[in-house]
Amino acid sequence: MTDLSSTEPKAHRSLKVADARTKKRNAAEKRFRAYGIVAIAIGGLFLLALTYNILKAGLPAFTQYVVELEVTLTQDEFDAAESQMLKTAAYTDIFIGNFEANLAERGVAVPYDADAIERLLGKVGGDIRSYYRENLDDIGQPVTFQLQTSSRVEGYFKGRVNRDTIVDSRFLMGSDLDIVDALRDSGVLTSRFNWDFITGKDSGVDNPGGAGIGASAIGSLFMMLVVLFLSLPIGVAASIYLEEFAPKNRLTDLVEVNISNLAAVPSIVFGILGLSVFIQFAHLPQSAPLVGGLVLTLMTLPTIIISTRASLKSVPPSIRDAALGIGASKMQSVFHHVLPLAMPGILTGTIIGLAQALGETAPLLLIGMVGFVAREYPDGVVSGFMDPNSAMPAQIYTWAARADVGFYEKAWGGIIVLLIFLLLMNALAIFLRKKFERRW
């Protein structure tokens, strides 16, 4: 003490001259800031590379190439075709007739035959026949058909094959490319936004062009509804009880530790649990969004409970004291004062939990929510919680595993759709947080 408070006068130092210690401290601070900026830059770079890759690989999935053709079918032609043995062949002939007239009108001269048409556009006869059988009123009137080109033709436009690498096969011949180019130049073949990808269902393994993410998006939606309506009330009620009412003893400590542990359990474990409990024991249907939702609820609950408890904890205890001090009951103090303050945190946690669940694939594989779901909605797939369906991430996984290269872009396109959903959910979380946040 005495030597610190020595009476010797201190040498005068100007504040403008930094001493050695200050210099060192300032240098350390500068270095630390530089580390931070570098770290953020690296993160940003990775993000950029990832986004670029995803967009590059996935965006083609949103473009579709179609041949647009006006067809007029007279009642006589219809009756004649329907009376034949090979009905679709008759319709194919009708199509080719119209096609020829159309090309002649536009002055396009290119040799082709019926087989080439089938390689380029698939079984057009069947498509046209089923259209007219459903729309009998359109007979005799001009109808514009938009026929999707085969995935090999799309592959040519999207750069998967070119004139040098093409190998003649029953799917596509080198000579077909001349027809394709001619159609393209004359405007018969055009590209358009691929709504079928957004709204459509999965297709067969050899038809990547017809595959869509819509059906599995609806499966995901059903699952998220199950997750939201089960895990939010259960999670919040459990958190409020544990945080505000439960006595602090061994038992509640044990519960607490186990909840934290559950949050770290690999999701596939929840999948196998769901398989054995919900499907094998409770005999719920396989592949049903209800089961998927239940499994994901189990997975999401710990996340919601942990974030809810954290936000309840962050409400200052003086607020509880204030309420109790004027004779509010425990429950009144929680519901009138604590919960509203904790709401932004709870909602954020819930949406983050839901977003996690939305992207979860592994447990869905175990309960059979993968695979080929080709039923048409609105009935079929969309009909509910108990009917077989897929989910977006599981659908993406399925596509990625398929042999046809056409599915590659579908998988990436699916990822784009999934990411858009996730971004929307995060935006919603931010919006809700801002809305419920009390700034006073």
In terms of CB distance, is 281 or 440 closer to other proteins?
Answer: 440
Per-residue contact flags (x/-) with other proteins for residues 332 to 361, judged by CB under 8 A: x---xx---x--------------------
Tell me the closest approach of the beta carbon of residue 315 to other proteins, in angstroms.
10
Cα four-point dihedral sign 276, 282, 287, 291: negative
Residues numbered 230 to 269 that lie near other proteins (CB under 8 A) are 247-248
In terms of CB distance, is 9 or 247 closer to other proteins?
Answer: 247
Count residues contacting other proteins (CB under 8 A)?
Answer: 21
Which one of the spans 3-11, 51-59, 329-337, 396-404 is the region binding other proteins (CB under 8 A)? 329-337
- The secondary element (H helix, E strand) that includes residue 189 is strand 189-193
In terms of CB distance, is 48 or 322 closer to other proteins?
Answer: 322
In terms of CB distance, is 163 or 330 closer to other proteins?
Answer: 330
In terms of CB distance, is 242 or 298 closer to other proteins?
Answer: 242
CA–CA distances in Å: residue 348 to residues 102, 312, 425: 58, 13, 10
Residues numbered 309 to 328 that lie near other proteins (CB under 8 A) are 316, 318-328
In terms of CB distance, is 319 or 374 closer to other proteins?
Answer: 319
Alpha-carbon gap, residue 233 to 346, rounded angstroms: 11
In terms of CB distance, is 236 or 323 closer to other proteins?
Answer: 323
Of 329, 379, 383, 434, the one binding other proteins (CB under 8 A) is 329
With tokens 């109808």, the residue in question is: 143
Tell me the closest approach of the beta carbon of residue 326 to other proteins, in angstroms.
4
87 binds other proteins (CB under 8 A): no
Tell me the closest approach of the beta carbon of residue 306 to other proteins, in angstroms.
21
**Number of helical H runs and strand E runs in the chain:** 18, 3
Residue 70: strand pairing partners: 144
DSSP assignment of 400-432 equals: HT-SSTHHHHHHHHHHHHHHHHHHHHHHHHHHH
In terms of CB distance, is 327 or 378 closer to other proteins?
Answer: 327
Alpha-carbon gap, residue 252 to 258, rounded angstroms: 10
Tell me the closest approach of the beta carbon of residue 321 to other proteins, in angstroms.
6
Beta-carbon contacts of 221 under 8 Å, excluding residues fewer than 6 positions away, are none
- Based on the number of CB atoms within 10 Å of its own CB, is 256 exposed (0-12), middle (13-18) or buried (19 or more)? middle
Tell me the closest approach of the beta carbon of residue 327 to other proteins, in angstroms.
3
Alpha-carbon gap, residue 65 to 67, rounded angstroms: 7
Alpha-carbon gap, residue 112 to 121, rounded angstroms: 13
Tell me the closest approach of the beta carbon of residue 323 to other proteins, in angstroms.
7
187 binds other proteins (CB under 8 A): no
DSSP assignment of 128-159 equals: HHHHHHH-GGGTTSEEEEEEEPPHHHHHHHTT
378 binds other proteins (CB under 8 A): no
What angle is formed at CA 402 by the lines to CA 398 and CA 405, rounded to 5 degrees? 125
Tell me the closest approach of the beta carbon of residue 313 to other proteins, in angstroms.
15
Q: Enumerate binding residues for other proteins (CB under 8 A).
A: 247-248, 316, 318-329, 332, 336-337, 341, 438, 440
